[in-house]
Each structure stands twice: as structure tokens, then as C-alpha cells.
Structure 1
Amino acid sequence: MRWFILILMFFGAMISFADKSIVGLAAVPIMEEFNLSYVEWGLVGSCYYWLYPVTGPFGASWADRIGAKKILGFLMISWSILQFGVLAIAALPFLLLYRVLLGAFGGPYSPIAYSHLDKWFAKEKGLANSAIVGGGTIGAMVIAPVLVSLITIFGWKVAFASLGVASLIWFFLFQFFTKESPIAVYKKEEKKQIEKLEKFNLKEFVSLMIRPTPLFTVLAYASVYMLIIWFTIWCPIYLVEVVQLSAAQMGYSIATIGIASIVIYTGVSMISDYLFKKNQDWRISRIYVVTISMAIGALLLASIIIFPNPIWVVSALCLSKGLTYAILVIAPTIMINEKRESGGLMSSMLTSFGSLAGIVAPVLTGYIISLAAGDKIAGYNFSVLFMAALVLTFGILFGIFVKPALSRNKVAKKNISNEVDLVN
């Protein structure tokens, strides 16, 4: 059952990220159809995240209370309706409204999925989280050639609607073939968690979030989320306009970057899990692994400015994406461990603050490009350098300030032991 749930969470993340990223693959026909400027296109990319920070925590906390199945099912039905509704879009305001609503109903998915898998996987948390991030990567990049083909042959609206069909199929599989928790015994634990959630104290929660561990975990996550937006919204255009790839070459390059990055950050997460099982040390197994990965990934990203050869650009982007995305896999585990009875809410802090970055990133990138006074190559290079510096800075801060207490390690061991007993 848990492996089937893991597979569905993987495909759910794939649909979610395909929903949000397909607009980048359809950038050229959409911009031509609505006669959009770069700044207006940045607005289209940004508006997806306007309600994301609000609906993420709200939906995740409700899932903590009434169960993941109900909320995830509702989200999938909403995605399906919105994607079918694309067929009626005839002007920019309607496109913006569609993106805003899609982001609103997309916000809760990842935190709920992280928290839901945390119930089912006692020791392989890094691997389980990698499935969600991996699904997102495939949805955003790996299936790009398929989506580009659909856009080319049938038009961008039909391609969008096809994702609505995928959401509908996922809904029926998840609702009728999975369970809420590993075993009936877990219902007692859920009842205790609900009682604790009913006594939720906002002041206590804010006090928790400003501690160094959750604060700098969220900031490091948000910095990489800005890079996610760059990969989603601007990377396809960068490969075409700067690297001079054809549309087909761009699609296959995006897929290559996505596949390679999945292998890399899954490998990093497995190394982290292995080290944690071996020494139970959060600093070594989680923090240092992520910090080193983010630093190397940021430097590789910056290198494409110096070496603009297409082969090196695609290779560097493969490595950069895979290494920097390690924070996406490890951060939910760190946050959930801070307050386990509110796992969905804690992980939603990551996606919500990441979405704040998502609001700023597309517009900021468009503004940076426009500052180059007509020199698009210089503008894109400035944006790449900015993203690399951001990830490098917050990766180092993450390594310095995120220090889970030793006593918390003991609690983590006890939690793992209890979860193993429950799953067994």
C-alpha cells in the first residue's frame, strides 16, 4: 500500500508541476497570441503564486485535521476543472485569473504530500521526499518534449486541457485504492494530533518559526525556489534566445536536465539517509550534505556565463539543478521534525515562503533582463548570476545557522522507532 501511495504522490507532483510549468513551454505562442511584453510575461509567471502562500498553510492544516485523502482529492478535481477551463481563455485578464486560481489550488499539494508520506515511511524519508521532488521535476522538465509536441500539433489550449484528464484519473485512483494511515492503531495517534492542533497557539508557532533552524531552512528553500521559477519560466526562452537552440532541441534539453537532476538529487538524498542511519547526526547527514550540494550547484550555474557552449550549458544546468534541489528533499524532514504533530503545517511553511519567492522571481527576472538596454544575452546572464549568488549565500547561511539540538536527535530516534513499530 505504501509503495502504491508513493507512486501516486509521485504522479500527483508530476501533474502539479506540469500544470504550472507548461505555460513556460507555451511562452512563444501565448506571447504572440496576446501580444505580451517581457514584463507582462513575467506577470503571467508571477501571478501563479499570489494566493499560494495563503492556501498552502490553510490546506495543509486542514489535511492535518480531517485527513490527506479528502483535501488531495478536492485539489485534483479543482485542477481538472481549471485546465479544462483554459479552452475558454480569450484575453490576458482571463489567463491571469486562470493562473491565480491554479496556484491557489496547487499550493497545498506538496506540504500535504510530504506530511502524508511521513506517516508511511519511517526510515526512508529522504527517498520518499525525493519521489515528490522527482515527480515535480518530471512534470516541469522531463515530459517537456511531449508537452511541446502537444502544443505544436494541437495548440496550447488543448495541451493544457490534457493535464485536466490526468488530474481526473489520479483522483479516482487515490480515492478508491488508498488508505489515510498505515494501520488502524495510527488513528489513536491522529486523534492526539488533532487535539493538539485544536490548541494551536499562534504566538508559540511564530516563536518556533523565528528560531535559527526553521528560519534558515525556510530561507534556503526559498532561494532555491526562486531558481525553480527561473528553470520553469525563463530557462526554455534562455536556451532558445541565448544558447540558440531550436524549439525541438530546447524540449529535449529541458528533458535531459530534468532526468539528470532527478538522478543527482535522489542520490544526494540516499547519501543523506545512509549517513543518518549510520550516525544519527543531523548536522553531518542533513545540513552539511545540503550545504555542500547547494554551493557546488550555485557555482556550476554561474559557470554557464563564462562557458556558453551549448553542451557545457546543458551539462552544467543538469548538475546545478540536481545539486541545488537537494534542499527540496531534505528541508521537509527538518521542518516536520520541529513539530511532528503539525507536519503538514510545518512543511507548508516551506512551500508558502517559496511561493513568495515565486511571486517576485518572474517579475524580477524580467526586470533584470530589461535593464540590459536591449542586450538580451547580457540581461539573461545577469539573471543567472543573481540566482547563483542567491543560492550560494543562503546555502552557506543554512550550513552555519541550522543546528538541530542534540536532544532533538534523541527524540527523532524515538520517533523513528515508534514509526517502525506502527508500520510493522
Structure 2
Amino acid sequence: MNSLDGYRPRAAWMTTLMLTALALINFLDKIVLGMVAVPLMRELNLSPAQFGVVAGSFFWLFAVSTVLVGFLSNRIPTRWLLLAMGVMWAVLQIPQALFSSMAAFLVCRIVLGAAEGPFYPVSVHALYKWFPDEKRNMPVAFVNQGAVVGLLLAGLLIPVITHQWGWRMNFVVLGVIGAVWSMLWLIAGDEGNLVQRRGLSTGADAPPQKVPYRKLLSNPTILCTFFLGFAGYWMLGANMTWLPTYLEKALGFSGIVSGRWFALVIATAAPFSLGLSWLSQRMLARGASSRSARVRLLCAAFVSGACMYFVLMLPGLAPVQKAIVFALAGGLPSVCFALAPALLSEVVPDSQRGAIIGIHTALASTGAAIAPMLVGRIVQANGGALSAHAYELGFATSAVMLIVASLCALRWLHPGRSPRASGEPVATSAA
């Protein structure tokens, strides 16, 4: 059966646009704490290590909720799961505008993290119901640009809002945005109908294939993809939490100027993610193996980004030069968030895809929970918030993670071999 049977491009891309908007909100929620770090730490009298704990707490229940909702997404339509998330995010913004103690803020961030954790695996699972395998790189990369736009807007708008109305007003604005998206999704959101089948001769009425989870979770391709995601989230957690403070405190930019530099640094990720995702999809269309078009390309991006983190520590670089190098360091590895789910979808049956992508996000996001705390400790132990070298030592932990994950993937990640462990080669057809 033709892999495009049942493919409806217009509806598929409309869903992609809506999920891109939700990704924008998701990353505004994540980054807002880092963007208001300076006035928040001053008002709540927090040290860098304490602030690192508060920032990292967002991910403490992130993994648990991601796995649970990932399994639910195998049974409950993703349309309703995404609506529930949008509503919860909007409601949970308001307490953050009101709390004034570290303990209360900590609890609020933990609950919000639990509510936001399942977004990525559920949205990817939803998209894969609309797009066949050979067309999956770009829509996921496009949704990831919602995150980039969200971070870009954060850099441009949050410092202005903070300057005009105080840091708490940012949470009120985010609550309103979340409520508007939820109403639009309730009206326009829909469920895709493409399913991926094992074997070209499988009948349309055949029961969904199941593979024991112990077999899936011991598959080297899946384990290596999890590690790649862990390294990517480690970098993301460190950057989102500490880059704004690094720009303002260590490199000496003013609050508003550092916000603009932050926006520029984040915006650099968009052309890398979209361009490398397009290149990967183009290579697949021309007959390249997934090992070449996805694995090797991703590892090359990881190692290149890691090298830029080490360049950041070279003596003699001006603040503007450091900001540009940081943009390259964070931008290149961002393609991971588009290619890693595609690698998993090559190996995992559709009926279990939501759960496996959920487990992937849960395990990967522990990197984002650990990195802010570790970087905070490194900063505090090596000169404090005014030392650029202290931050750069912390960011170097991302470089180490990226390189180790790449070496493991180059050795053990072979998606072309893995389908034999769970079934026959993949064909995509309409449900």
C-alpha cells in the first residue's frame, strides 16, 4: 500500500501550526524563570545554588508524568490530552505571580513541570498520526521552532515587561496566552489517522503489533537514542537557566540588552534545526540509510557544538564574540529534538510509540533537571555570579555530554538493524 494513502497535507500542517504555537507557550513557561532570575533572586534572597535548585525542580516530576501520560496516549486521543495540558498550564501561571517564598515557588514549579512534561512526546505522537515516516523530520523540526520563537520572544519581551510592570507580570501574561490557545484548540484541534504497519502485506483489519517492553528497552538503538536525548536536554536545561544570568552578570550587558542577545543566541538554533532536518529528509529521499541521514548527521552536529563550548573558554574573547560562539554551540545540537523521535519511530510499533517517546522524554529530561543544579554549584565554587569563567566551566559539562553520547551512538546506534528485533520493515498506511 502506498505510504501516502490517507495523508491529508492541509490538515496535517494545520495541526503542526497549532502544536508549534503550543511549543512556543511551553518554552516561554520554561525560560521565564531564567529571564527573571536577577530580580527574583534579589527579592527572594536566593544564592546561585538555591536558584539552581528552584530552576531544576521544574523537571523533578517531569519524567514521571511524561511516562504516565505517554502510556495514556496509546489509549486516549492526543487531542484531549493536549487540551488538558493547555488548560493546566494557563491555570498554574497565576500562583507564580503571587508566591513570595522559595518553598512555595519550588512547589509551584514542580507541579507546573509535571503538567508540562508530557507535551513533547504527546505532540510528536500526535504529528506521527498525520505524517508518514519519510515526511516526519520537517513537521517535528517545525514544531521545535515554536520553542525557538518562544525563547526569542522571551528575550525581547520579558525584560521589557519586567522593567515596566515587575517580574511577576510575566506569569500573568503567560496565563492569558495559554487560555487563548486552549480555546482555539478546542475549536480546531483534530486527530490524525495514519498508522505505521509492520510488513507490506498486513491487512488493514489486523490487530496492532505488540513487542514486549523489556525487548524494546534493551534495544541498543533505543538506548542510544535515549542517551542522545539526555545530552540534548542537559544542554537545554543549562542554557535556559544560566544563559540570561551569564550574559547580564558575567559578560556585563544590561538587562534589556542581555535579553536581546539571548534572543539572538536562541534564534540561531532555528536555521540549524530546520536546515539539518531538511538535509536529513533530503538524504533519505535520495536513498541514504537512516544510519547516515540521521545518526551520523546528528553526531556531527553534537561534536561540532561541543567544540564551540570549549572555544568559549579561550582567553581574549570579547563579550560579543562569546555570545556568537555560544549561539553556535547551542544551535547545532538542537537538531536532536527532531531526529531522535524519528529514530525511535523506525523501531517501535505505532501502538507503543506514545509510551516509548514518553519514556525517552522522561529519561532525557533528567538531564535538564540535573544540569542547572550542577552548573549553579560550579558557578558558586569558582568565583560566583560575576565570573565568566565559572559559567563557562559549567557549560563545558554540556560539551562532555554531547561528545560521550555521540561516541556511543556511532558505536551502537544502527536503526536499519533494529526492526528485525521487533518485526518486519516498516510500511505506512491509512488507518
TM-score (norm 1): 0.91
Kept after mapping to 2: 8 A contact 1:51/1:103: yes
Relative to structure 1, is the Cα distance of residues 407 and 160 closer, same or farther in structure 2, using a 3 angstrom cutoff?
A: closer
Q: Deviations over 1:107-145 (max 9, x none)?
A: 110000011111112232111111222112222344321
Kept after mapping to 1: 8 A contact 2:235/2:368: no
Match of 1:337 in 2: 346
Distance 2:253 2:298 in 1: 32
TM-score (norm 2): 0.89
Distance 1:11 1:412 in 2: 36
Structure (1/2) with the larger helix percentage = 1
Deviation at residue 292 of structure 1 after TM alignment = 0.6
Gaps of 5+ in 1: none
Higher deviation after alignment, 168-177 or 312-321: 312-321
Deviation at residue 411 of structure 1 after TM alignment = 7.7
Higher deviation after alignment, 336-345 or 35-44: 336-345
Letter of the 1:91 counterpart: S
Distance 2:308 2:43 in 1: 36
Is 1:23 equivalent to 2:33 in the alignment?
yes
Secondary structure, aligned partner of 1:120: coil
Relative to structure 1, is the Cα distance of residues 254 and 412 closer, same or farther in structure 2, using a 3 angstrom cutoff?
A: farther
Deviation at residue 191 of structure 1 after TM alignment = 9.8
Is 1:275 equivalent to 2:254 in the alignment?
no
Match of 1:181 in 2: 192
Relative to structure 1, is the Cα distance of residues 371 and 120 closer, same or farther in structure 2, using a 3 angstrom cutoff?
A: same
Distance 1:300 1:19 in 2: 27
Deviation at residue 41 of structure 1 after TM alignment = 0.2
Match of 2:234 in 1: 226
Select 1:235's aligned residue among 243, 255, 264. 243
Letter of the 1:137 counterpart: V
Secondary structure, aligned partner of 1:54: helix
Match of 1:415 in 2: 427
Deviation at residue 276 of structure 1 after TM alignment = 0.9
Match of 1:117 in 2: 127
Is 1:285 equivalent to 2:296 in the alignment?
no
Letter of the 1:65 counterpart: R
Deviation at residue 414 of structure 1 after TM alignment = 4.2
Match of 1:328 in 2: 337
Match of 2:378 in 1: 368
Kept after mapping to 1: 8 A contact 2:346/2:415: no
Select 2:266's aligned residue among 242, 251, 258. 258
Distance 1:242 1:207 in 2: 48
Higher deviation after alignment, 374-383 or 30-39: 374-383
Distance 1:9 1:145 in 2: 22
Higher deviation after alignment, 76-85 or 312-321: 312-321
Deviation at residue 166 of structure 1 after TM alignment = 1.1
Secondary structure, aligned partner of 2:73: helix
Secondary structure, aligned partner of 2:46: coil
Relative to structure 1, is the Cα distance of residues 308 and 57 closer, same or farther in structure 2, using a 3 angstrom cutoff?
A: same
Letter of the 1:262 counterpart: A
Match of 1:300 in 2: 308
Distance 2:83 2:165 in 1: 29
Secondary structure, aligned partner of 2:33: helix
Match of 1:146 in 2: 157
Deviation at residue 350 of structure 1 after TM alignment = 2.3
Select 2:166's aligned residue among 144, 155, 162. 155
Deviation at residue 277 of structure 1 after TM alignment = 1.3
Deviation at residue 412 of structure 1 after TM alignment = 8.7
Match of 1:311 in 2: 320
Deviation at residue 50 of structure 1 after TM alignment = 0.7
Relative to structure 1, is the Cα distance of residues 413 and 170 closer, same or farther in structure 2, using a 3 angstrom cutoff?
A: farther
Relative to structure 1, is the Cα distance of residues 327 and 94 closer, same or farther in structure 2, using a 3 angstrom cutoff?
A: same
Select 1:46's aligned residue among 50, 53, 56. 56
Is 1:35 equivalent to 2:45 in the alignment?
yes
Deviation at residue 413 of structure 1 after TM alignment = 6.7
Kept after mapping to 2: 8 A contact 1:295/1:396: no
Select 2:395's aligned residue among 356, 381, 384. 384
Relative to structure 1, is the Cα distance of residues 205 and 407 closer, same or farther in structure 2, using a 3 angstrom cutoff?
A: closer
Letter of the 2:338 counterpart: V
Relative to structure 1, is the Cα distance of residues 210 and 27 closer, same or farther in structure 2, using a 3 angstrom cutoff?
A: same
Distance 2:343 2:234 in 1: 20
Distance 2:153 2:331 in 1: 13
Deviation at residue 405 of structure 1 after TM alignment = 3.1
Distance 1:106 1:191 in 2: 35
Relative to structure 1, is the Cα distance of residues 191 and 110 closer, same or farther in structure 2, using a 3 angstrom cutoff?
A: farther
Letter of the 1:415 counterpart: A
Secondary structure, aligned partner of 1:305: coil
Deviation at residue 90 of structure 1 after TM alignment = 2.3
Secondary structure, aligned partner of 1:156: coil
Deviation at residue 377 of structure 1 after TM alignment = 2.8
Distance 2:17 2:145 in 1: 11
Match of 2:7 in 1: none
Distance 1:412 1:310 in 2: 54
Q: Deviations over 1:379-418 (max 9, x none)?
A: 21211222212212212222221011347399897424x2
Distance 2:270 2:374 in 1: 27
Kept after mapping to 2: 8 A contact 1:243/1:308: no
* Percent of pairs with identical residues: 21
Distance 2:231 2:217 in 1: 17
Q: Deviations over 1:354-392 (max 9, x none)?
A: 221122111111111122155733321211222212212
Gaps of 5+ in 2: 1-10, 198-202
Distance 2:418 2:360 in 1: 24
Match of 2:200 in 1: none
Secondary structure, aligned partner of 2:414: coil
Match of 1:126 in 2: 137
Distance 1:328 1:399 in 2: 18
Secondary structure, aligned partner of 1:328: helix
Relative to structure 1, is the Cα distance of residues 128 and 413 closer, same or farther in structure 2, using a 3 angstrom cutoff?
A: farther
Kept after mapping to 2: 8 A contact 1:142/1:256: no
